[in-house]
Structure 1
């Protein structure tokens, strides 16, 4: 047995060795980031409170509240959120000053107009779907916070609005300064890391597509759609980031367009590899060798020789495509030529992504895009926007607020204005969720803690405070704890209930009041408003999961028909829009408990069908004659097939398949210049419709 001293020495050495590794674990990093965020937010809040007191603003607690609303875990997000909040607050204050004095003599009309303004702001925020939507949210609930309580004293509405803008501006300024200059956490590093991981996942997905096993790649393909949405959300904050060099917007758009095209392209390649039986490696023709070499390039390509290797592989793929397409003796050869063309496109997309990523922080200019293999003009991310669903949520918000106003006016409740103002905030702040009630419940739980803490502060601790330094010391435990909770996604809304309640109920004004009756009335108004808001939103603003899913699927099918008729001709926009819908479907399908794979595969199939249909529509002027008429009839049949007003049957699908087969036979015997292009698109369409198996039957019989 070893001596005690030796064992102790080895134990200490092991602890010292494990210590740094333990501190670098993801859990410890999250804790450290949360603690740092909380400390910086508290420092900003106390600075804003001090400045508000020095200036003599009557309600300095609004500056504290603003700091915690604006503060984000990264410097860029805090800055952008501050800008959007100031813009929204300013517009909301102007709207309130314009509405309340002119309609205060008719409370019902005034309530309707204020509620209509709040609903309109919610409508535009839901249509925007970017972080900029926060400005619309603020424009709405600022009018609620100032307008409804101001009905009792309309003569002071301008002063109230002016003071509120000043208090909020001080909070924004302090939050932005502290998060930007005190141990700043730039978003650029996080974004570039996430982008690099996404590009690696895309290469792995492309490599796996060459094995011809689609079932194994479904989750990766669906996750890539979600990653593109996440990257777009992060990229919105990059212009506000304090990093010395940030990725150029045009470069990011070019990368996005290539990843968006790569997502359905990998499905195309999987189908053809599986159909041709190339995953087993039993054959040794030029196409099979090419597939193996492409797989090796994807796995092992290096930055220094990647351009040469990529260019060489693209040339080989085009050569194989030309050889198989020109000398096609069977339909199987045509499918092989189609696969070779898709391989060339995929290699170009992956190579472009590598070059664009390497040049993100360099002096990349639009003229340098001439050497790229893919499209030179960037489209960027396209958001799905549904005016009908946005209008539904806005109307539900208006109905909920007007219901609260009706009770206020009918009961003549003195605190009714405060309650309705909080109700308006809830309906606007949580209105972007399909099911807002669970988030409201978290906020209520946090508010309960906030009320209990506020009562202790108001009537036990604050009466003993004699100077500002002591006040900061006694407030630190509650705010530091709540701030660390706010930095963690699962407890964000609960923490907001604490940080937004304590400053108001604790009476953090210019002097200590300690009015228990006023505090109790505010508490009653708070819980009455939030509770009524939860009921109102469950009735008027909640969208059942299956309704949201069916709505997205309905719009996807409708837009496939429109593409077939020549609508939405931009392929990059169409692809990005359908990928965004896929990203929206994934969390809803998980919430519904349904099997995700089949529904998401249908959405991606709609993407592929619409993409091909739009390109086929463009070939009609070059085809003309009988083949051109047959192409137009095929596209019209696709429109009918995907029309929601015309239920489809298996016979409709068989009719589509027969039309494609007939048109393929016509094109095979034709001499049109666009013959090979149309034939290629028909193969794409047949696989996208899921009838690739019939292609195999046709190939064997040719």
Structure 2
């Protein structure tokens, strides 16, 4: 018979496990729901106590700012307050200059809204809210105030006070009441990403990774890089501990990009050598890979902390120190074998050393996070997600056109609720411009607004007349608001929830003096839905993001990053090139969400661009380190051949064609031959000879990337490419 004490202990343990699981999932949703309601009612109560004209504005602001994580709330609040102040100044300026002429004022407001919409689209992080509020505040304050210019200054100040109150209440509740910190999630992300990457490297080195898995891994890495930077920009608002590590976290992201790109290049080179039948070079390099894998990941002992990363860094440092001597000794032995392709071995060995070096730096930065301050904190480069310039300009022009069109409609119809129509369009255009799918976003917000209209009508005309006092008001508002907050916690319902929460407050949010006017309520609801319909129509008709032309433009911009690698100043070029290329690929990947083939094509172009771009940057660094000697001058034939090869690469990636691919391959072949001839013509010093060999390795790797049958450049392959592949094999 079982021991009752044992059964009771087992039951308690099961209950504890169930509670912990609930707290990590649905429990967080309930905590966020209660915090959002608390912040909204706090803002509403203070606004009513201060007798502000529209307390509903403070409550609406809470739902615009509120986020599950305290750092996200503070970041959003910071930029929202800044945008509100900028919008306030712009409003007063526009009213002072254009208020007597309504048409000129609305035209200037449309232009200002377009500029702010472009800024919101350009910055795909919390900075977008600053631009959003700068445009929305100008419309929110300016349109009503322009109709009564004598009270514009006071109206602008009170509206800014309402917005600021909502921001402060959201930040106060989010930071102090059961805070959920992004910094804690960031630690988990850092640990999980490092462990996942070294496991992936170990599996790939042992040949256990299929091409489909490589594609999935690269797509995941792409999303993680962008998400990591967004999380870092939020976490710095949470306290001095995270701010003290912000530079290292940015560096960690950059070093992860470099290490993952380098490893992929090494892995691809080995696959190309196998496909070409160069098994002698493969067999000579594989012992190093078998030695490297256990240094990164020991089965059963994953790297889980900064201390573990420090151990990996020490092992990698020892390998890095010994590797050049061992490679030279192996190369000397291989050179004695007749017909051995030394250039293949040199290229693989150079990429291996660079990967070990990059992985060592990545592990060192991860290990440095264990201390509050560290010298690796000094890192000037930042990953800044920026939307493509053409897409940004289109978003700004679209926002200005929508505002102008709705303003013309308002003036032509003299609709009393036209002000609501125009100012809401300003907010929706800016809000949707930062979304990867703005048409879907505006549609979902419109549906949420219709739902808010139904519940708001019931609340205003069915509930408000029967309650008295602030506690009962909060109790009456809790059920409908809780529904909207719950929707915002579900990824597929975020757009519906945002539209519902925000516009429920706009339509049914209480003021100090309630007015029961069904016709006015209906007109406001119609104006809100019409403004969203107009925005959705604009995003569907005026160069929608899903149009093939925009997709092609994004890929062309991605390919042009090779031009950046070839021509940009050398010091900051690697971080700029890497982050810019990955960010463009992320934008293209998001736009092609429903087209798996197009997504694979975008990832393939990203891989080709990263491989060639990194090789070009390494080549430029080696060339810049050559001594000041006439034999190494830029006017020497072998240097001119390398420069011509770079020009051919720029032309190829700017606009790929069969002829340009053949030209790039021919120029690359000439550069390799000229460099080999120069190396044989004179006896350089040992370090200079090694540098020239590294230059040859990078040129050779570029050639292998250009003739790779799995590269997107293969579609432009002609007879010359086929002959080059045969010669390479």
Residue deviations 1:201-245 (CA, integer Å, cap 9, x gap): 221232233245561422212321221110000100112115855
* 1:512/1:696 CA distance change after superposition, 3 Å: closer
1:443 is matched with 445
User: What are the within-5 Å matches in structure 2 for residues 17-36 of structure 1?
Assistant: 18-25=14-21, 29-36=24-31
2:316 is matched with 310
* 1:464/1:13 CA distance change after superposition, 3 Å: same
1:322 is matched with 328
User: What are the within-5 Å matches in structure 2 for residues 135-174 of structure 1?
Assistant: 135-174=130-169
Tell me, in whole angstroms, the C-alpha distance in 2 between the residues paired with 1:629 and 1:410: 67
Residue deviations 1:137-177 (CA, integer Å, cap 9, x gap): 11011111122233322222212111111111111111111
How much has 1:477 moved relative to structure 2?
1.4
1:521 is matched with 523
Partner-residue secondary structure (3-state), 1:129: coil
RMSD (Å) for aligned C-alpha atoms: 3.2
* 1:38/1:670 CA distance change after superposition, 3 Å: farther
2:592 is matched with 589
Residue deviations 1:506-549 (CA, integer Å, cap 9, x gap): 25000232222221221222222222222233222622253333
2:698 is matched with 681
How much has 1:471 moved relative to structure 2?
1.1
Tell me, in whole angstroms, the C-alpha distance in 2 between the residues paired with 1:24 and 1:281: 54
2:220 to 202, 219, 223: 223
How much has 1:321 moved relative to structure 2?
2.7
Tell me, in whole angstroms, the C-alpha distance in 1 between the residues paired with 2:692 and 2:642: 12
User: What are the within-5 Å matches in structure 2 for residues 119-138 of structure 1?
Assistant: 119-138=114-133
C-alpha contact 1:393 1:540 (8 A) present in aligned 2: no
Deviates more, 1:331-340 or 1:400-409: 331-340
How much has 1:598 moved relative to structure 2?
3.7
Tell me, in whole angstroms, the C-alpha distance in 1 between the residues paired with 2:639 and 2:210: 34
1:347 aligns with 2:345: no
1:249 is matched with 246
C-alpha contact 1:276 1:332 (8 A) present in aligned 2: no
1:373 is matched with none
Tell me, in whole angstroms, the C-alpha distance in 2 between the residues paired with 1:231 and 1:543: 25
2:430 to 421, 428, 431: 428
* 1:282/1:633 CA distance change after superposition, 3 Å: closer
Tell me, in whole angstroms, the C-alpha distance in 2 between the residues paired with 1:303 and 1:532: 53
Tell me, in whole angstroms, the C-alpha distance in 2 between the residues paired with 1:264 and 1:497: 41
Partner-residue secondary structure (3-state), 1:510: coil
Partner-residue secondary structure (3-state), 1:149: helix
Residue deviations 1:75-132 (CA, integer Å, cap 9, x gap): 1110111111111111111111110242122222111100111111112222333321
C-alpha contact 2:53 2:511 (8 A) present in aligned 1: yes
1:612 aligns with 2:615: yes
Residue deviations 1:186-205 (CA, integer Å, cap 9, x gap): 11001111121111222123
Tell me, in whole angstroms, the C-alpha distance in 2 between the residues paired with 1:303 and 1:421: 53
2:532 is matched with 530
C-alpha contact 2:280 2:340 (8 A) present in aligned 1: no
Partner-residue secondary structure (3-state), 2:560: helix
2:262 is matched with 265
2:499 to 472, 497, 500: 497
Partner-residue secondary structure (3-state), 2:297: helix
User: What are the within-5 Å matches in structure 2 for residues 199-598 of structure 1?
Assistant: 199-211=194-206, 215=211, 216-242=213-239, 248-277=245-274, 287-300=285-298, 302-303=308-309, 305-325=311-331, 329=335, 332-366=341-375, 378-540=380-542, 542-565=544-567, 570-598=573-601
Partner-residue secondary structure (3-state), 1:108: helix
* 1:151/1:384 CA distance change after superposition, 3 Å: closer
How much has 1:324 moved relative to structure 2?
4.3
* 1:694/1:291 CA distance change after superposition, 3 Å: farther
2:644 is matched with 633
Deviates more, 1:591-600 or 1:399-408: 591-600
1:372 is matched with none
Scaled by the length of structure 2, the TM-score of the pair is 0.87
* 1:415/1:384 CA distance change after superposition, 3 Å: closer
Residue deviations 1:291-325 (CA, integer Å, cap 9, x gap): 11101222227557434422222233222332345
Tell me, in whole angstroms, the C-alpha distance in 1 between the residues paired with 2:185 and 2:639: 51
Partner-residue secondary structure (3-state), 1:413: coil
C-alpha contact 1:38 1:480 (8 A) present in aligned 2: yes
Tell me, in whole angstroms, the C-alpha distance in 2 between the residues paired with 1:699 and 1:104: 73
How much has 1:283 moved relative to structure 2?
10
Partner-residue secondary structure (3-state), 1:508: coil
Gaps of 5+ in 2: 627-631, 710-721
How much has 1:660 moved relative to structure 2?
4.9
